[in-house]
Amino acid sequence: MKILLEKEAYLRTTYRIAHEIIEQNPQLDKVILVGIQKKGYPLAKQLQDHIFQFSGSMIPCYSFAIGSFRDDEKRNAHETNEPFDVQNKTVILVDDVLFTGRSVRAAIDGMMSLGRPQAIRLAAMVDRGHRELPIKPDYVGKNIPSSSKQRVLVDPIGMTIKLLED
């Protein structure tokens, strides 16, 4: 195991992402954060706190389970989501690690099932490459090249990012 980011650098990274969201979305009242369950939601909550700290705007933040929208073996039709309004909103999907893009594709399908957003953006703490779908993050904390045999773990509670060999 190798620690790639410790608390101070982790915080600087989340602060930067929050500032980028504020700068690129002048109408924060039309923005919602949607954390992909389970690991994206704690990061979305951190971004919500930072955005409030820097702008004074409290952006709504929701957790979203994508299992029933997946197209692979991780499909879980038993998950349920509380409904929330995406109509004419800028939805910022938040995930911890962007890898193949399949989770993000499922989340986009889920957002479209709720209504018609003005736009859907993607914030990822780590982009490790290896995309199988044409997905690109709008806000990225760290680009971490890795092999497909490695795992990248983002720990929002401990505010670290670790690289694990399988």
Let me know if residue 100 belongs to a domain.
Answer: yes
Full residue range of the structural domain in which residue 148 is found: 2-67+82-165
pLDDT at residue 159, as a whole number: 95
Tell me the pTM.
Answer: 0.93
Residue 14, burial from CB neighbour count under 10 angstroms (0-12, 13-18, 19+): buried
Let me know if residue 108 belongs to a domain.
Answer: yes
Let me know if residue 73 belongs to a domain.
Answer: no
DSSP per-residue codes, 21-82: HHHH-S-GGGEEEEEETTTHHHHHHHHHHHHHHHHS----EEEE--GGG-SSTT--TT----
Query: What are the tens digits of pLDDT across the range 126-157?
Result: 999 889 999 999 999 999 988 888 999 999 99
- Say which residues have a Cβ less than 8 Å from residue 150's Cβ, sequence separation at least 6: 163, 164, 165, 166
Cβ pair 104, 96 in contact under 8 A: no
Let me know if residue 49 belongs to a domain.
Answer: yes
pLDDT at residue 75, as a whole number: 61
Let me know if residue 27 belongs to a domain.
Answer: yes
Band (pLDDT 50/70/90 cuts) for residue 165 is confident
Let me know if residue 72 belongs to a domain.
Answer: no
Let me know if residue 75 belongs to a domain.
Answer: no
pLDDT at residue 73, as a whole number: 65
- The CATH number that applies at residue 51 is 3.40.50.2020
Looking from the CA of 115 toward its CB, the CA atoms found within 13 Å total: 12
pLDDT at residue 149, as a whole number: 87
Q: C-alpha 78: how far from its chain's center?
A: 22
Let me know if residue 62 belongs to a domain.
Answer: yes
**How many structural domains compose the chain?**
1
Query: What are the tens digits of pLDDT across the range 57-110?
Result: 999 999 999 988 988 766 665 666 788 999 999 999 999 999 999 999 999 999
